[in-house]
Amino acid sequence: MDEGPKSLAPEDDSFLPVEEVITRLRKVFSYVVADAEKGAASIDGTIEYYEKRKRHSVDADEHYDAIIEELRSHRSRSYMLTLADSEDYGDAYLTTVVEPDKPIFFGFSSPEHERKALPMVQRFADATGYDIE
Digit-coded pLDDT (tens) for 33-66: 999 999 999 999 999 999 998 888 777 778 889 9
In a domain, 1, yes or no: no
SS3 of residue 32 by DSSP: strand
Count up the domains in the chain and report the number.
1
Residue 1: per-residue pLDDT:
43
Asked if residue 18 is part of any domain, the answer here is: yes
Assign 6 to helix, strand or coil.
strand
Whole-angstrom Cα distance, residue 29 to residue 131? 19
> 66 in a domain, yes or no?
yes
In a domain, 93, yes or no: yes
Distance of CA 64 to the CA centre of its chain: 21
Q: Is residue 25 part of a domain?
A: yes
Tell me the C-alpha distance between 37 and 78, whole Å: 9
pTM of the model: 0.86
- pLDDT for 5 beyond 90: no
- 101-129 mean pLDDT: 95
Give residue 30's domain range.
Answer: 6-132
What CA–CA distance (Å, rounded) separates 124 from 100?
A: 16
